[in-house]
Structure 1
Amino acid sequence: MTPGARIAAAIGVLDAVLAGEAAEKALTGWARGARYAGSKDRAAVRDHVYQALRCKRSYACLGGAMTGRGLMLGAVRDANEPIGALFSGEGHAPAPLTADEAAGGHQPESDGERLDLPDWMLSLFDESLGKRAEEAALALRGRAPLMLRVNERRATRDEVIAILAEDGLAAEPVAIAPMALRLDKGARGVANSRAFIEGMVELQDGSSQAAMAALDLSGAGRVLDYCAGGGGKVLALAARADSAFYAHDAAPRRMADLPARAARAGVDVQLLDDAEEAALYDLVLCDAPCSGSGTWRRSPDEKWRLSAERLGELTRIQGDILDRAQALVAPQGQLAYATCSLFHAENEAQSDHFMARHPGWRETLRRRWPIGDEGDGFYLWVVQRRS
C-alpha cells in the first residue's frame, strides 16, 4: 500500500469508530476485508487510527471536520506532511482537497480542543491532578512506551537484554521498576522472541510493575489477586516469592490464558471460581475495574466513550469490591487497592471512603505514578488489618 492508500484505509476505519464501533473491532473488520494489506500496512493503518483518536478534537480542528477524512487531514497538517502527495486520488489515496477543505481548518482554540479532552472532563482533570492536569492531558496525546518485565525466576535483566538482542530487539533497563525494560523498536517481534517463548519476559507496563514491586510479600503465605483479569499482576508477584498464589475474576473467561502463562513463567497460580472457598489470605490485591484513564494512550477511544454516568457506576463497583475483599483478609493481613486511573474519585476518595466504613485498618502505603516515558498513570493503596 502507498502512504496515501494507508491514509484512505485509516479514514474508513475512523468513520466506523465515529459511528460508534470500537476501534479494535473496526480495525479487525478492515483487515479481514483487506487481504492485500501486508503486516507493515496493517501496522501503519493501526498507528494512524490510534494517533487520530488520541488527538481527535485537535485534529478535527486542523482538518475542518469531525470525520475520518477531517481527522486524517488534521493529522497530516499537524505533522507538516505534503498534503497534495497524500490526498492525490491516485493509487487508492484519498481524493484531492476541495477548495473549502484547502481553505478550512483552524488551530485548536478551547482547552478541550487543545488538550484533546471532552469538555465535561476538564474539571475532573483539574480536581484530580491540580497543577499537573495539563501535563497529563498532553501526555495522553502521545504513544505509550512498550515495557517488558523480566521474570527473575528465569533470567537476570542483563541476560534477557542479551537474549533479546540476538533476536534483533534492543531493550534498555529503566529506573521505574527493578525488572523493567523498555523497547523503542521492534515491538511487534516480542511474541516470537526466544525470551518471550521461554518465559523470561512478560509484557507489562512500567507503573504496574513498580506497584507490584512495592507490595510487601514478607510473611504473606497466601496471596489472592481478587480481580485478576489476564493475570499479569499475580504473575509479577509470583515471580518474587514462594507464597501460595490464587487468582479470581468476576468474569472467569478473562483468566483463560493464565494457566499457560504461569506454566511458561515457571510459577503456580491456582484459579478460583469462588474466592471464599480457600478461606483467608495474607494479601488480597484488588486491581479494580476503572476508567483506565491512565492508559488512554493505549486505548484512546475509551477517552471519548467514558461518561460521567459511567464513572459514577465504576466508583460504586470499586466500593463494593473493596467491601467484599476486606472480608477475605486474615488478621494482620494486607488489602491492596490498585487502579490505572488518574481520577481522585477512583483513587484517594475510594481509600478515604473505605477507611470511614471500616475503622479496623491501618494505612501503610498510598502512591501515584504519573504518565511518563516509562509507564502509565497508576494508583496503589495498601492497608493492614489491625489485630
Structure 2
Amino acid sequence: MTPAAREAAAIELLDRWLGGHPVEQALTLWARASRFAGSGDREAVRDLVFQAVRRRRSAAALGGGETGRALVLGLAREAGIRPEAWTGVGHAPAELSEAEARLLDAPLPVLARPVALDCPDWLLDHFEAALQGQTDVILSRMRDRAPVFLRVNTARTSRDAVVSELTALGIETRPHPLAPTALEITANPRRLRNSDALAEGRVEMQDAASQAIALDFAAHARGPVLDYCAGGGGKALALAAEGFSVSAHDIDPRRMADLPARAKRAGAAIQVLSGPPTGTWSAIFADAPCSGSGSWRRAPEAKWAFTPARLAELTAIQDTILRQCADLTAPGGLLGYATCSMLREENEDRVKAFLENQPGWRCILERRLSPLDGGDGFYLAVLRKSAGS
C-alpha cells in the first residue's frame, strides 16, 4: 500500500469509529477484508488511526470537522505536511477541496487549552486537582503513543540475558529506571510476538510503572498473596516471580481465562480461585477497576467515552472493593490499593475515605507515577491493619 492508500484506509476506519464502532473491532474487520495489506501496512494504518483517536479534539479543530478525513488532515496540518498524494487516483483519498487547501495554507490557530491538550472539557479541572503544575506537560505527553515495555521474569532468567537474546533477533531494548525488571523496546517491537523469550515465559508485556507498583507492594508483603482484582494476571505473575505464592480472584473469572497457561509458561505459583476468596490473608493486592486515565495512550477511545456518571460509579465500586478486602485482611496484614488512574477521586480520596471509616488502619506507603516517569500513570497505597483489629 502507498502512504496515501494507508491514509485512505485510516479515514475509512475513523469514520466507522466516529459512527459508533469500537476501534479494535473496526481494525480487525478491516484487516480480515484487506488481504492485500501486508503486516507493515496494517501496523501503519493502526498507528495512524490510534494517533487520530488520541488527538481527536485538536485534529478535528485543525482539520475542519469531526470526520475521518478531517482528523487525518488535521494530523497532517499539525505536522506541517501537505498531502500532495491525495489525488483520488487508485486507492488515494480524493483531492483536496478548495476549502481544505485554504485551511492548509492558513497559519495554525491558537487552540483553546482543553482542545490543544486533547482533554474533554469536564475532565480538565479533575486533572488540575491531581496533577497541578504538571497538568499541561503530562496531558501533552498523553497525546503520543506509549512506549513498549517488557517485564523480565527474573525467576527464569536475568535482564542482561534477555537483552542479549533479543538483540540477536534485532529487537533493541534498554533497561528502564522505574523497575529492575523493566526493559523498554526501542526498535522492532513487533518481532517479539514470534520470539522464544515470550513463548517460553522469560518475558511478559507489562508497563514499567505497573511493574514498579507490584515491586513496591512486594517489598512490604509477607506470606501468601491474594490478588483480588487479577484481570489478565500481569501483577499476579510479577508477584509470583518475586517468590510469592499467589491466589488470583476476579469478579469476572473470564478475565483470568489465559492466566493458568501464562503461569505455567512462566513457572509461576498461581492458584486461580473458582469462587470468592474466604478466610483471611496476610497480604492482599487490589488493582481496582478504574477510569484507566493513566493508560489512555494505549486505549485512547476510553478517554472520549468517559463521563461524570461513570466516575461516580467507579468510585463507589472502589470503596466497595476496599471494604471487602479489609474484611479479608488478617490482623497485622497488608492491603495494597492500586489504580492506573491519575484522578484524585479514584486514588487519594478513596484511601482517605477508607481510613476515616475503617479504624485500626494506617497508610505506610503512597506512590503516584505519571507518564513523566516514563510509563503509564499509576497510584499505589499500601495500608496496614493493626494487629488488634
Q: Which of these residues, 236, 239, 254, is aligned with residue 234 of structure 1?
A: 236
CA distance in 1, matches of 2:64, 2:21: 22
Q: Which position in structure 2 is the counterpart of 1:127?
A: 129
Distance 1:228 1:219, change over 3 A: closer
Stretch moving more, 73-82 or 344-353: 73-82
CA distance in 2, matches of 1:74, 1:338: 37
User: So what's the TM-score if we normalise by structure 2?
Assistant: 0.96
Q: Which of these residues, 148, 151, 154, is aligned with residue 149 of structure 1?
A: 151
Q: Which position in structure 1 is the counterpart of 2:254?
A: 253
SS at match of 1:327: helix
Instruction: Summarize deviations over 1:274-296 as a string: whole Å, max 9, x none.
Output: 2333x211111110010000001
CA distance in 1, matches of 2:11, 2:306: 23
Q: Where do 1:60-79 residues align within 5 Å?
A: 60-79=60-79
- Give, as a single letter, the amino acid of the residue that structure 2 aligns with 1:371: P
Q: Does 1:161 align with 2:163?
A: yes
Q: Does 1:294 align with 2:294?
A: yes
User: So what's the TM-score if we normalise by structure 1?
Assistant: 0.97
Where in structure 1 are there 5+ consecutive unaligned residues?
none
CA contact (8 A) 1:58 1:108 kept: no
Distance 1:329 1:217, change over 3 A: farther
Question: What's the CA shift for 1:218?
Answer: 6.1
CA distance in 2, matches of 1:333, 1:3: 57
Distance 1:183 1:219, change over 3 A: closer
Q: Where do 1:264-283 residues align within 5 Å?
A: 264-277=265-278, 279-283=279-283
Q: Which position in structure 2 is the counterpart of 1:103?
A: 102
CA contact (8 A) 2:289 2:339 kept: yes
> Would you identify which runs of 4 or more consecutive aligned residues in structure 1 move more than 6 Å?
none
Distance 1:156 1:9, change over 3 A: same
Q: Where do 1:4-19 residues align within 5 Å?
A: 4-19=4-19
Q: Which position in structure 1 is the counterpart of 2:24?
A: 24
Question: What's the CA shift for 1:273?
Answer: 2.5
CA distance in 2, matches of 1:152, 1:216: 14
Q: Which position in structure 1 is the counterpart of 2:90?
A: 91
Distance 1:362 1:48, change over 3 A: same
Stretch moving more, 218-227 or 6-15: 218-227
Instruction: Summarize deviations over 1:140-197 as a string: whole Å, max 9, x none.
Output: 1011000001100111110110011111111111111011100011111112112111
Q: Which position in structure 1 is the counterpart of 2:182?
A: 180
- Give, as a single letter, the amino acid of the residue that structure 2 aligns with 1:100: A
Q: Which position in structure 1 is the counterpart of 2:322?
A: 322
Q: Which position in structure 2 is the counterpart of 1:384?
A: 384
CA distance in 1, matches of 2:254, 2:228: 14
Question: What's the CA shift for 1:217?
Answer: 5.2
- Give, as a single letter, the amino acid of the residue that structure 1 aligns with 2:154: E
Report the identity percentage.
48
CA distance in 1, matches of 2:374, 2:171: 17
CA distance in 2, matches of 1:379, 1:159: 31
Q: Where do 1:352-363 residues align within 5 Å?
A: 352-363=352-363
- Give, as a single letter, the amino acid of the residue that structure 1 aligns with 2:97: T
Counting matched residue pairs gives 384
